[in-house]
Amino acid sequence: MSRVSEAFERASRERRAVFIAYLTAGDPSPEATPGLARALDRAGVDVLELGVPFSDPIADGPVLQRAAERALEAGTTLSGVFRMARRIREETSLALVLFSYVNPLLRRGIAATAREAAAAGFDAVLVTDLPPEEAREYQPAFRSSGLDTIFLVSPTSPPARMSAAAKLSSGFLYVVSRPGTTGARRELPRDLPQTIARARRAARNLPVAVGFGIATPAAAHQAARLADGVVVGSAIVAEAERSAAEREAAVERSAHPLREACARGTADSR
């Protein structure tokens, strides 16, 4: 069983959703990222998505775009992301997801990326702009290296797309809460229960996590009652951006109540 699957099993026993956090690797510097990961580990995060900075992040809102710019300006490369992952693997208990656009991985070569990612301590890979229809030639390389493969579905995904994404996924199926780019929102979309219900039908026994726009404990709790995992990215990255003088402490403080909000009552447990 992978670390990702173990995280979902453990959370299920504890009657809560898995708390999944996102950081852009190398933001604000390669040296800072492992410390931020340690802060998230202390706050109770289960799974960390470590994002590879990319010059054309079409799915990202302003917060993550700025983070990618800072990371690239600091000289972050894919090799550097692997070095950061090795430190995080040594220093935390987090399950690690390599979160990337496809272009940086293609430049290195998919097979080489898969081998190096596994050697660096990653447990899974999520390629945000790789649709299931184009993934069949790439997914086996990741799986043969022992990495879970996570795919995205959204409110606009038809049943066939959701089923295709679920069949290629292991670890969990990632439900994008709304169309558009990443970024904190005041509330979750009204149709999210229907979207997650459709994703569950496609996923069958595979866990379902929801992200994009979750920024407050109230929203995290609402999401935790619907899905098996809750993903928070922009809110955490924005907190790090605001709190340069005490970045790690601020990230830990902001993540802890989000983690606590992932708890469910007995009636909500799945």
The DSSP secondary structure of the chain, one letter per residue, reads --HHHHHHHHHHHTTBPEEEEEEETTSS-TTTHHHHHHHHHHTT--EEEEEPP-S--TT--HHHHHHHHHHHHTT--HHHHHHHHHHHHHH---EEEEEE-HHHHHHH-HHHHHHHHHHHT--EEEETT--GGGTTTTHHHHHHTT-EEE-EE-TT--HHHHHHHHHH--S-EEEESSSS-----SS--TTHHHHHHHHHHHHTTS-EEEESS--SHHHHHHHHTT-SEEEE-HHHHHHHHH-GGGHHHHHHHHHHHHHHTTB--GGG--
- Is 49 designated active site? yes
Out of 27, 41, 46, 60, pick the active-site residue.
60
Out of 49, 116, 123, 228, pick the active-site residue.
49
- Is 148 designated active site? no
Q: Which residues are catalytic?
A: 49, 60
